[in-house]
Structure 1
Amino acid sequence: MTFTPHGKHLIAGDWVAGESSFESSPASGPAHSYSVGTPELVNRAAEAAEEAFDAYAATTRENRAAFLDAIADEIDARGDAITEIGTQETGLPAARLEGERGRTAGQLRLFAAHIRKGDYLDHRVDPAQPDRAVPGPRPELVMVQRPIGPVAVFGASNFPLAFSVAGGDTAAALAAGCPVVVKGHSAHPGTGEIVAEAIHAAVGKCDMPAGVFSLIQGGDRKVGQALVQHPLIKAVGFTGSLAGGRALFDLCAQRDEPIPFFGELGSVNPMFVLPNAIGARADEIGKGWAGSLTMGAGQFCTNPGIAVVEDGPDADRFVTAAAEALGDVGPQTMLTDGIARAYCDGRDQIAADNSVRAVTVAESEGRNAAPALYETSAQEFLSKPALHREVFGPLGLVVRAASPAEVERIARGLEGQLTVTLHMDDADMERARALRPILERKAGRVLVNGFPTGVEVVDSMVHGGPYPASTNFGATSVGTLSIRRFLRPVCYQNMPADLLPEGAAA
C-alpha cells in the first residue's frame, strides 16, 4: 500500500490547506509538500476543541474506551503505509517502526481498559452526618477526578508514533475526556498525516464531536507560541529540547491564566557501576552499555550517556570492552539533518575540553552519526556543568572516580534525570543501599543491572523526573498514571445523585 500525502491540516473534521507550504526532508524516497500551520489555524482548532469539550467530557467511559480501541484498530489497518512513509521520513528501520506502531496501538488499548475499570477517578465519599453535634452536622461530600479541558500536544522528533500524533499524551488526554490539538513535528509530517486520518476515521465510526481532535502541521515558533498561549487550551504535553521546552514552559507560566506544561526536556541517564559488579562483569557491562548507547543511533530519551566507575584495572577493562563494541557499530542515519548537526556540535564541544580524553571517535558525515566515547575524572566532571549536558546521539562519557566518596558526590550533584541505573552484585549491597535514597531523588525510574533504553507501557511505569528531565516531577508521560495530568479533583457537596457525573455516585 503506497500512501501519497495530501499535505493538509485536520481541523475539527475538515482537511484544510494553508496559504504556504514546506517540503519534507526524508532520509530516503520522495519529498512531499505540506501546508504550513498558522496562529489562525490554532485559533480555529482551539475553538473547535472547546466547543466539543462539554459533549466529549460527558461521554461514558465505555464510549471513550471504544473510541480509543477504534483509533488503535485504524492505525493497525494502515500499518504497511505507516511503515513505508515512516522509514522514508526518519531513516528508522522498518522493524523499529513496526514495534513502535505496536506500542502506540497498545497504549491506546491500555488506556481503554484503564478507564473501563474506573480506578483512575479516585472516587471518594464521606456520607452525611446530619446528627453530628460537634462541630455540627456534616453534609455529604463526594470527590471524583474530572477532565480539565482542551489539551495541546507537541509531536516528538524521535518517536514519530509513540510520542506524536496519537502517542501517549494524546491517548491520556482523550481517555481523560479532553479534546486534543496536536502540533505535528516537521520531521515526519507524512507519518503524522496518516495517523491523523486514522483518528479522523475513528471519530466518524464512534460518532464523536468533530472538534475532539485536530492536527496542525509545520509552522514556525509563532504557531507553538499561539498554541500554548491560547486561552482555551488548559494543559500542554511536550517532548523535545531543553531550550524549546523551557521557552514554552515560561509562556505557559506567563499567561493571564497559567496552565500546566508537562514537558520532557532532556536526560543523560547516568549509570553507576559498583566495584564488585565491574570486577566480575566488566566486559559484559561494557558491551551492554555500547548496545544501549547506540540503539536507534542514540536517539532515545533514555539513552545512558554517562557511566560512573571507580578508577582502576576493572574500569580499564570496562572502557576497553565498550570501545571495542562501539567500534563494531557503523554510522547510523539520524532523524533529521538538524539533529545530526546538533550531535556533531555536542560531540565537538566535549572533545574541545582539555580535561576530556577521547577513547574512540568515528567519523560522522551528513545525516549519519558514528559513535564516540570519552572519559574524564570525577573532579573535572563535578566542576564543569557543561559535561553534564545531554548530547542527543551515540555518545558516551566515562567518569572515573577516585573513591566511593567521589561517587557519592557525583550522585548528589546530578541534575534531574529520567533514569538512573545501578550495576551491582550482592557484595555491593551496602554501597547500593547508601546510593539508592540519593538516586531516587534524582530520577523517575531507578534500575538495577539493566539498561534504560526501552520503556514498558504499564500501570507502574514512571517516565519523568525532576527538572530538567521534566517540568513536573509529580507526573509521568508513559503508563496509565499519565492520565492524571489531564484531570482535576472536584468535590460535590449535597449533590443529588442524578446531577453527579458518571463514576461519582455513592
Structure 2
Amino acid sequence: MLTTTDPRSGVSAATTIEPTPTASVSVIAEAAAAAAASLSWRGRAFRADLLDAMGTAVERARTELVAVADAETGLGPVRLNGELSRSAFQFRLFAAAVREGSYVEAAIDHAADTPLGPQPDVRRMLVPIGPVAVFGSSNFPFAFSVLGGDVASAIAAGCPVVAKAHGSHPRTSQLSFETLAAACRTAGAPAGTVGIVYGQQAGTELVKHPAIRAVGFTGSLGAAEALQAAIGTRDEPIPFFGELSSINPLIVTPGAAAARPAEIAAGLFTSYTGSAGQLCTKPGIAFVPDGEAGDALVAELATRTTAADPGILLNARIRSSFDDIADRLRGAGAEPLARAAEPAADGGFTVPPTLLETTAVAMTAEVAEECFGPLLVVARYADLGEVTAAVGRIPRSLTATVHGEPTETDVVADLFEALAPFAGRLVHNGYPTGVRVSWAQQHGGPWPATNSQHTSVGVTAVRRWLRPLAWQNAPEAALPRELRDADAGIPRRIDGVLTLPV
C-alpha cells in the first residue's frame, strides 16, 4: 500500500491505494486509446459541456478536496481554496475556448487558378494528438495535478488523459480522479476519458505504452530526464512537454530602490516565502543597487525574514534538498544575510526563511541554482551593466521582473530588451508568483525552464495536444464540421482572408 505523510508532523499513514501493476497500466492506457476517437468526433459542443461539468464537480467536492489536500501538503485552506477555484475556472475557461473555436486554426483554400496554375482544394485544422499522460506536481495538488491545466487543456483538445498521481498527495489525487470520473459519467463521456495510475514504476510504464501519444510533466530536471529516457526506448517517439527549473531573476532599478524600498521589500518577502517558497515562479535572485537606497531595501527585507515563521515543505526529499542547496550556494560564494529562527524539532518538514547575499559581478550559475523553499539570494550591483552581464551567466527562466519608476522608462525598456532572450514572461512593478489564467498568458521559457515553446497555463496550452491535418479535394461529408463551406460558427481563414462567424 502507498502511504501518505502529513508534512507538519512528518508522520506517515497507510492508505488503501496500491501501486498500479504493469498489466493494469496497459489496460488503462488502452481504455484511453479506445475513448480517443469518440471524444474527438463527438465535437466541440460535447467537450465544452464535459469541461463545464468537470468545473461544477470540482466546486461541489471543494470541502472534501481541500481537507484531504491540506492533510497531505500543509499548504493551508486559504491557499488550497484559491488553487481549487483556479482549477474550476480553468475547466470553464477551456469550455468557452472550445465553443469559440479559433484554437483549431481552421483554414480553407478553395480550388482555383493561381499564378502557379490550377491548384486543388486544401483545408487544414488542428486535430487531437491522442491519449495524453499527465504527471501531477508536488506543489500544486490541484492546479498542476489531476485537476490541473494539463488535464483541462488535453480534454479541450479532444484527448483522453491518464494522470500519474504524485507520491506526495496520493489521496488528493485519488479523490480528484474520482471527481472527474463522476463528471464524465454525468456528461456521458466515453469510458477511458480519464484514468489514473499510482507509483513511480507505473509512471515509467505509462510513458512507454504505445497508446500514449504525448506527455505533460511538471517537476525536477532529474525526474524529467528519467522519463525522457523511458520515452527514448519506444519504437515511436512522442513529445514530452516539461516544466522543469527556474530561478526567476528580479531587478530593482536605482530609482525604484530610492522611491519604494519598504514597499518592494514587503512584496519581495511575500513573493519568495509564499507557499513556503515552493512555487516555480518564486524569485530566487534579487538584484539590488549598492548605496543607501539599496541598503534600506535589503535591511527591511532582512528584518522581515528574521521575524518570519518557519515554512512547511511538502515532503522529506524537498526538506533535505533545501539544506543541501543552501550549503552549495554558500560554498559557491553566497554569504549568509538573514535567517528566521530555527523551527522546533517536531519531526515536520519545516525550514526557516533564509536570505543569502552576493554581488552581481560574482554571480555564477552555481549561485543561481534553484532552491525549492523560502530562500532568496540578494545580488548587489554598482551599475545595471553588471546586472545584464550576470543574467547572461545564469540559467534561463520562466520569468524576469523589473521594478522601475516612471522617470526610468528608457531604463526599463532597455532591461526588458536585454532580458527577453532569457525568460518567457517579463513582469514590470509586480511579482512573478501571480500567474493569470487567460488567453494571453505564457507560462514557459527557454531551457531549463521548459523544454518546449508552449505554455502550460492559459488557453494556448491546448496547442500541445493538437497536430495539423489537411484534407485535399475531400468530399464535404468526409470533412469535419469546422471545414465545411457552410458557416461553422468559428473564425476561419478562407482563401487567405480571416472570416469571423456571422
What TM-score, normalized by structure 1, do the two folds share? Answer: 0.91
Q: 1:57 aligns with which of 27, 40, 51?
A: 40
Report what 2:255 is aligned to.
Answer: 276
Superimposed CA distance per residue, residues 152-189 of structure 1 (whole angstroms, 9 cap, x where no aligned partner): 00011000000001210000001100011100001111
Which residues of 2 match residues 226-241 of structure 1 at below 5 A? 226-241=205-220
What code does the residue aligned with 2:267 have? G
Output the CA distance in 2 between the equivalents of 1:154 and 1:74: 21
Report what 2:491 is aligned to.
Answer: none
2:335 is equivalent to residue 357 of structure 1: yes
What code does the residue aligned with 1:173 have? A
Q: 1:469 aligns with which of 449, 456, 463?
A: 449
Superimposed CA distance per residue, residues 358-384 of structure 1 (whole angstroms, 9 cap, x where no aligned partner): 1112325541121000111223213xx
Residue 426 of structure 1 deviates from its aligned partner by 2.0
For structure 2, the 5+ residue unaligned runs are 486-502
Report what 1:109 is aligned to.
Answer: 92
Residue 250 of structure 1 deviates from its aligned partner by 4.1
2:163 is equivalent to residue 185 of structure 1: no
2:389 is equivalent to residue 409 of structure 1: yes
Report what 2:362 is aligned to.
Answer: 380
Which residues of 2 match residues 379-458 of structure 1 at below 5 A? 379-382=361-364, 385-458=365-438
| Equivalent pair of 1:52/1:179 in contact (CA under 8 Å) | yes
Output the CA distance in 2 between the equivalents of 1:356 and 1:136: 68
Report what 1:312 is aligned to.
Answer: 291
Output the CA distance in 2 between the equivalents of 1:36 and 1:225: 12
Query: RMSD of the TM alignment (CA)?
Result: 1.6
Output the CA distance in 1 between the equivalents of 2:180 and 2:155: 11
Superimposed CA distance per residue, residues 220-259 of structure 1 (whole angstroms, 9 cap, x where no aligned partner): 3x32222222222111000001111133234435533221
Secondary structure of the corresponding residue to residue 392 of structure 2? helix
Say if 1:78 and 1:431 are closer, same or farther in 2 by CA, change over 3 A.
Answer: same
Residue 502 of structure 1 deviates from its aligned partner by 3.0
Question: Which moves more between the two structures, 237-246 or 251-260?
Answer: 251-260
Which residues of 2 match residues 117-156 of structure 1 at below 5 A? 117-129=100-112, 131-132=113-114, 134-156=115-137
Output the CA distance in 2 between the equivalents of 1:393 and 1:96: 16
Secondary structure of the corresponding residue to residue 444 of structure 1? strand
Superimposed CA distance per residue, residues 330-371 of structure 1 (whole angstroms, 9 cap, x where no aligned partner): 112221122122112212222334x32211123255411210
| Equivalent pair of 1:310/1:407 in contact (CA under 8 Å) | no
Aligned length: 478
| Equivalent pair of 2:273/2:353 in contact (CA under 8 Å) | yes
| Equivalent pair of 1:275/1:428 in contact (CA under 8 Å) | no
Output the CA distance in 2 between the equivalents of 1:320 and 1:292: 17
Q: 2:57 aligns with which of 74, 86, 95?
A: 74
Identity among equivalent positions (%) equals 40
2:272 is equivalent to residue 285 of structure 1: no
Say if 1:402 and 1:302 are closer, same or farther in 2 by CA, change over 3 A.
Answer: same
Report what 1:86 is aligned to.
Answer: 69
What code does the residue aligned with 1:404 have? L
Report what 2:4 is aligned to.
Answer: 24
Output the CA distance in 1 between the equivalents of 2:96 and 2:20: 34
Residue 430 of structure 1 deviates from its aligned partner by 2.3
Residue 30 of structure 1 deviates from its aligned partner by 7.9
Residue 308 of structure 1 deviates from its aligned partner by 1.1
Output the CA distance in 2 between the equivalents of 1:32 and 1:194: 16
| Equivalent pair of 2:247/2:396 in contact (CA under 8 Å) | no
Superimposed CA distance per residue, residues 24-83 of structure 1 (whole angstroms, 9 cap, x where no aligned partner): 112369834121123322211111111111111111111111111111111111111111
Q: 2:18 aligns with which of 25, 32, 35?
A: 35
Question: Which moves more between the two structures, 326-335 or 29-38?
Answer: 29-38
Output the CA distance in 1 between the equivalents of 2:22 and 2:292: 59
For structure 1, the 5+ residue unaligned runs are 1-20
What code does the residue aligned with 1:64 have? R
Q: 1:371 aligns with which of 348, 353, 364?
A: 353
| Equivalent pair of 1:52/1:212 in contact (CA under 8 Å) | yes
Question: Which moves more between the two structures, 356-365 or 283-292?
Answer: 356-365
Superimposed CA distance per residue, residues 301-348 of structure 1 (whole angstroms, 9 cap, x where no aligned partner): 111111012322222111111111112311122211221221122122
What code does the residue aligned with 2:75 have? L
Superposition misfits of 4+ residues, deviation over 6 angstroms:
none
Output the CA distance in 1 between the equivalents of 2:387 and 2:78: 39
Superimposed CA distance per residue, residues 174-228 of structure 1 (whole angstroms, 9 cap, x where no aligned partner): 11000111000011111111111111111111111111111112x23x3222222
Output the CA distance in 1 between the equivalents of 2:484 and 2:420: 38
What code does the residue aligned with 1:287 have? A
What code does the residue aligned with 1:393 have? G
Output the CA distance in 1 between the equivalents of 2:449 and 2:383: 28
| Equivalent pair of 1:411/1:435 in contact (CA under 8 Å) | no
Say if 1:51 and 1:504 are closer, same or farther in 2 by CA, change over 3 A.
Answer: same
Report what 2:309 is aligned to.
Answer: 330
| Equivalent pair of 1:52/1:211 in contact (CA under 8 Å) | yes
2:488 is equivalent to residue 505 of structure 1: no
What TM-score, normalized by structure 2, do the two folds share? Answer: 0.92
| Equivalent pair of 2:160/2:192 in contact (CA under 8 Å) | yes
Output the CA distance in 2 between the equivalents of 1:464 and 1:292: 19
